[in-house]
Amino acid sequence: MSSHADISAPFEPERGGLAACPACAVAPSAQSIAALAAGQGANIMLSLPSAHCAACISTVETTLMQEKGVKAARLNLTQRRVLIETDTGVTAAQMIAALARAGYEAFELNPDMLSSTQTEKVSRDLAMRLGVAFFSMMNVMLLSVAVWSGGDGATRDLFHWISALIAIPTVAFSGRPFFASAARSLAAGRLGMDVPISLALILATAISLYETTQGGHHAYFDAAVMLCFFLLLGRYLDHRTRAIARSAAHELAALEVPRATVLLKGTTEAVRPISQVGLGDIVRVRPGGRMPVDGVVIAGHSEIDRSLLTGESLPSFAGVGTQVLAGEVNLTGPLDISVQATGRETALHRMADLVAMAENAKTRYTSLAERAAAWYSPLVHLLSFAAFGVWLWITQGDLRYAINISAAVLIITCPCALGLAVPAVVTAASGRLFRAGLLIKNGTALERLAEVDVVVLDKTGTLTMGAPVLVNSTGHPDTVLRMAMALAAASLHPLAQSLHMAAQARGITAAHVTDIAEVAGYGIEGRYQGKTLRLGRADWVGAEAMDVTATYLRWGDLTYAFAFEDRLRPGVMQAMATFAAMGKTVHLISGDSPGPVAAMAQKLGITHWQAGALPQDKAQLIAELTAKGHRVLMVGDGLNDTAALAAAHVSISPASALDAARVASDIVLLGADMGPIADALRIAVQARRRILENFALSIGYNIIAVPLALVGLATPLAAALAMSLSSITVSLNALRLK
Amino acid sequence: MNILVYLIPISLLLGGFGLGFFFWAMKTRQFDDPEGSAARILRKDWDDRPQD
């Protein structure tokens, strides 16, 4: 069913044989470096998780075509990606903004990371073989039906010969994936699912050819090609799901297009791909930008948002000498950073590597299919050989008859339905989840998700959007808001912008404040009615700091505080309700201070919560729960969650999460809505039930058909009927998934 | 039964055509976006005349 060897660790990018150094694997191909460097030109690829209908195609493509410099835009609805051909000078950011105005959330993808040509080649190759097997199956079946319905003598022999002409090349061509995989597993000393499959294919073809030359009554050519077809179908579906999972991993790695602004000779700015930034280079990070490297600040001061790394919701100050880490967001002033580590050397990537090791150490989950294959293959061989021996003894050495029986047993027991049982369900389920906005990165994630009984949630960025909203605007007189608004309009700081928006929403116009200047890292200053007006950090303004995210206003001797709260992700309430209905225990764990965490826990009705948690504490909680026999689902987005994500039985992270967190998790939530997580749990449980039902179905067929084959009553007609009926029932059962 | 001499080659030939078209469709990447293709035929954008 699934060959184990090719499940590479999900974090490792697929490398060509050329990657000799770590940087080579990260470095984009030479031809695209130029385009990447400027972040423009040629092709831009965006991920559009919310596109889903015919109208979306029209809206998205028309919107993009109206943008200047766009030559062509095509939305791939299956992959939810849009490929835009542009003139040079057009950036992805413009496209994302245009789509945002049209109401679509878009993320930039790195097209280089997506050129997974190898997987695609294999998938096309399988499809070709599948097509050939289908063509042969139909033709051979046509001839076989004629034989079954009474053709005999010369007609039967002729039809058998024509069948042989079609079937033998087909089995040789279409059966190759099975033969190759069987040879591999035999060489490794294992008895995989492909060994009995190959044996059945070869034996059925050989015995039929022999019977044909002897003018015999029974030929199994139809069974051989039908086996080929159904098994290839299962293999194809399996491969597709895995290819999608793998390309999902790539897509996510591609979400952060690595670029940095480098200062050349201390003055000229140049945009470079991150792979070309070296130690000691000076990198400039503008307000709103994310640190591309680890380093130390050598010029400028600002505030930085560390929430993705630590879960802290309050921004912290950064000035000359402050150590910054890749992944942190610069909020107010431009910072020049002397590079101490780039790419794989950054704290962020080292963390990801640690996670990778933790994952490798974790005993690999054996899927239902693997468990089934483990006892199935030996049993099939044993049955077939037993039948051969017994019939050889009964018929006193009639080799031809004994081989015929044992071939019939192999054909009947061949895991047609079993080979389809899991892939069909997994394909149906992951298709449904993808439409709901979830990407399954790991093949066994669904099965593991079905076993979960405890849900552990992170707060900042997971339950919340990571964007602050003013909560006490009604607590201040309009005059205060007018002053604050005037200052806030001058800054890009998220708190200032949120404050400005809140004031705008109340229909307030800004006061006439003069001499407005932003003091990077502290706040904004101005003059109003002859007195100095300041909006910013508590210590700078001279106000008493509160326990919650807040900004402070001082006018003369008066101080005012504006408190902010992170907005809840849509669908959180619905997800919590579903968790409760399904009887899951929910834990909340966050690196944030106790105030906001307690408030959140109370709001959502979560009784188990923990604040101020370090990354180790989170992993510790997961370990404790696991030790108690629980199966834990971890949902988190920050770097501080990665260890916990890797340690959990199954993990989910939102697309807005940091690279490392997405790499560590099994499933990625594409949109902003939390609701699909609840759906995923429900679908996973259902999918598991369908898989087990399918196993039961195919075992049922075998229980009826195998005794027939053993006593020598299985005609090619009976074999064909059993095979097609069981395959069709399991496929239909898989489609029942709602 | 002489009719079989014609019928069998014809049926194989027709099936072969089908297979050939399948290969062609694979080569020209017609299966890259099945969902999109299904949705695209329902759009009104290019109904009046073929797209240039």
Q: Which tens digits make up the pLDDT trace of A370-400? A: 777 777 778 888 888 888 888 889 888 788 8
Q: Is B51 helix (H, G, I), strand (E, B) or coil?
A: coil
Element containing residue A263 per DSSP (H, E): strand A259-264
8 A C-beta contact, residue A320 and residue A297: yes
Task: Note the pLDDT of residue A168.
Answer: 93
Which residue has better confidence, A16 or B19? B19
Contact flag A139-B11 (C-beta cutoff 8 Å): yes
Beta strands in A655-694 (DSSP E): 667-669
Backbone φ and ψ for A90, nearest 5 degrees, come out as -95, 130
**Please, what is the angle between helix A368-394 and helix A675-710, to 10°?**
0
Beta bridge partners of A324: A295
Tokens representing B45 are 């954008």
Q: Which residue from A351, A373, A413 is spatially nearest to A659, judged by alpha carbons?
A: A351
A53 CB neighbours in chain B (<8 A) are: 39
Say what the pLDDT of residue B11 is.
Answer: 85
Below-50 pLDDT ranges, chain A = 1-41, 257, 361-363
Separation in Å, CA of A685 to nearest CA in chain B: 26
Distance from CA of A150 to the nearest CA of B (A): 14
Do the Cβ atoms of A701 and A725 come closer than 8 Å? yes
Radius of gyration of chain A from Cα atoms? Answer: 32
Residues in B 22-51 with any Cβ partner in A closer than 8 A? 22-23, 26, 31-36, 39-40, 42-43, 45
pTM to 2 decimal places: 0.69
Q: Cβ–Cβ of A139/B31 closer than 8 Å?
A: no
Q: Which pLDDT score, from 0 to 100, does residue A12 have?
A: 35
Q: Which residues 6+ apart lie within 8 Å of A412 measured at CB?
A: A702, A705, A706, A708, A709, A714, A719, A722, A723
Which strands sit side by side in the sheet containing A81-86, from one edge to the other? Answer: A70-76, A81-86, A43-47, A107-109
Flag if A75 and B22 touch (Cβ within 8 Å). Answer: no
**Using CA atoms, how far apart are residues A606 and A602, in angstroms rounded to an integer?**
6
Which residues, in sequence order, are CB contacts of A172 under 8 Å at separation 6+?
Answer: none
User: What CA–CA distance (Å, rounded) separates A130 from A635?
Assistant: 39
Q: What is the pLDDT of residues A144-192, one digit of tens each?
A: 888 888 777 888 888 899 999 999 999 999 999 889 988 988 888 777 7
Rounded to the nearest angstrom, the minimum Cα separation between B19 and chain A is 7
| Residue B44: C-alpha distances to residues A56, A73, A275, B38, B40 (Å) | 13, 18, 46, 13, 9
Angle (CA) B34-A449-A425 rounded to 5° is 40
Q: Do A54 and B34 touch (CB under 8 A)?
A: no
Nearest to A71 by CA among A79, A80, A61: A61
- Active-site residue, selected from the candidate residues A294, A458, A637, A641: A458
**Strand A667-669 relative to strand A650-654: parallel, antiparallel, unpaired?**
parallel
- Closest CA of chain A from B49, distance in Å: 17
What's the pLDDT at A484? Answer: 82
- Chain B residues whose CB is inside 8 A of the A75 CB are 36
Q: Write down the pLDDT at residue A71.
A: 84
Tell me which chain A residues have a C-beta less than 8 angstroms from the C-beta of B35. 77-78
Q: Which pLDDT does position A333 carry in this prediction?
A: 76
Note whether A77 contacts B1, CB cutoff 8 Å.
Answer: no
Q: How far apart are CA A737 and CA A120, in angstroms?
A: 27
Which of A52, A57, A82, A122 best probes binding to B when mutated, by most B CB atoms within 10 angstroms? A57
**One-letter identity of residue A192:** G
C-alpha dist (Å) from residue A120 to A50, A394, A429, A680, B32? 24, 52, 21, 27, 10
Question: For residue A457, what are the β-bridge partners?
Answer: A588, A635
DSSP bridge partners of A560: A553
For residue A703, give both structure tokens: 């229980």
Catalytic residue list contains A679: no
CB pair distance less than 8 Å for A79 and B1:
no
β-pairing, A608-610 vs A585-589, is parallel
- Within 8 A by CB and 6+ apart from A367, the residues are A2, A422, A443, A444, A447
